Amino acid sequence: MKRMIIFLFFAALAVSAQAGFEDEVIFSRSRTEYEMVTLTRRIGGLNRPWAAAFPGENQYLITERAGRLLFIDENGHRHEVSGLPDDLVAINQGGLLDIVLHPEFEENGWIYMTYSQGTRAATATTLIRARLDGTTLVDVEQLFTQDRTSSPGRHYGSRILFTDSNMLLMTIGDRGTHPERAQDPLDHAGTVIRLRDDGSIPEDNPFVGNPRYLPEIFSYGHRNIQGIAMHPITGEIWATDHGARGGDRLDRIDAGRNYGWPVATPSLNYRDGTPVSDTRVGFGYVPPVFEILPTLAPSGLAFADASTFPRWEGDLLAGGLASRQLQRMVPAYGPLSKFKDGQRRITIEGPYLAHSEILLINQIGRIRDVRTGPGGNVYILTDESNGGLYRLTP
């Protein structure tokens, strides 16, 4: 009996430790170049969280890569959500990955998630949607799975972006073992795909009707996009893509374009440091808007909310894993004239990166996700065994 009482006492302590929001101030009134900000840890004790969504006031849905979906209610209590697919396989970089709410979530209740589907021998990046009934997923529908499985563990991509109420983009990595797949337009690896919200293929996709391309493909030649965001005014799509050793890039994603991986890249091979390609930029391949150096190891990407951070209007907030950074990036638009050798003028058309600022570095760990959430505040997830959800506020 005494052992049982002691067990129940410590069990109660463990539950209470999971209850309530932490709201631990990491720093207060820190001055950046243009804004004064405060960073707090809202939720701690997360196991390798991958993405967060906001179903209600002070409510959170958080995916953990190992295969757990958490619902945190308005009182900060944590509930594990049941009903995830049985074929979810969590190995290395794979597992339960992105989560977003339908733009009309309050009316239809749809929640969209990506995960690595398959067996311990072979997996594919897969998109589902479901509704939440209490703490159980219901009406689960598989909307898409990539056409070819791969040995599990690497480069799933897996970010979801709604461009309007009926259309979404989803990133798929090159899956790591055969990078050349990103140049095969009959392979989903290394692509951004475009679907309707029910998983069907829009007729105005750039390659519909062309037998040499899969109709879902919106763009290709990517390595492993894990950050994607839409400009709130122009509707432009921006993404951050992992290079190998070097070659991380900021891109504007345009329909039907080839972004070059692995035939046009400055990346070096991990094994011996030799160039992946003999060209950095090639004809017919879209060069990066900016080659991110030193390495960012890019993750989540979001546009700052101008009503909350007015002096960051139009700026991107980019997370970094190995770099443990949050950067503010300022896209600008051409033409921009440069001089070479003091004589010949070079004019750059289109977007370029005008400025960047490191907002966080080595303060909270590996940054996995960056989202603009309720109130226009910035929410950040850390990819740690004791990860957390952080909130950046004015």
pLDDT in tens, 162-216: 999 899 999 999 999 999 999 999 999 999 999 999 999 999 999 999 999 999 9
Name which of 164-173, 245-254, 331-340 the model is least confident about: 331-340
Q: With pLDDT > 70 as the criterion, what percentage of the chain qualifies?
A: 92
CB 115 within 8 A of CB 96: yes
Strands 325-333 and 316-320, by their bridges, are: antiparallel
CA 141 to chain centre: 22
CB 119 within 8 A of CB 86: no
- Is residue 155 part of the annotated active site? The answer reads yes
b/e burial code for range 203-217 (CB count within 10 A of at least 16 → b):
eebbbeeeeebbbbb
Compute the residue count for the chain.
Answer: 394
Higher pLDDT, 313 or 13: 313
Q: Give the position of tokens 């950074």.
A: 325
Could you give phi then psi for residue 9, rounded to 5 degrees? -65, -50
The neighbour count for residue 281, using CB atoms within 10 Å, is 14
CB 280 within 8 A of CB 264: yes
Q: Which of 77, 102, 155, 178 is catalytic?
A: 155
Write the CA distances from 205 to 97, 208, 244, 276, integer angstroms: 25, 6, 29, 31
Write the CA distances from 330 to 31, 98, 111, 159, 290, integer angstroms: 18, 25, 31, 22, 11
Confidence of residue 281 (pLDDT cuts 50, 70, 90): confident
Three-class HEC string of 53-120:
EEEECCEEEEEECCCEEEEECCCCCEEEEECCCCCECCCCCCCEEEEEECCCHHHHCCEEEEEEEECC
Domain boundaries along the sequence of the chain: 23-393
Is the pLDDT assigned to residue 255 strictly greater than 80?
yes
Q: With pLDDT > 90 as the criterion, what percentage of the chain qualifies?
A: 87
* Tally: H helices and E strands in the chain: 2, 27
Is the pLDDT assigned to residue 330 strictly greater than 90?
yes
Average pLDDT over residues 68-86: 97
Residue 247 neighbours by CB under 8 Å, 6+ apart: 223, 265, 266, 267, 268, 276, 291
Q: Which CATH superfamily is domain 23-393 in?
A: TolB, C-terminal domain (2.120.10.30)
Average pLDDT over residues 229-252: 96
| Tens-digit pLDDT profile for residues 341-381 | 556 666 667 899 999 999 999 999 999 999 999 999 999 99
pLDDT value at position 7? Answer: 37
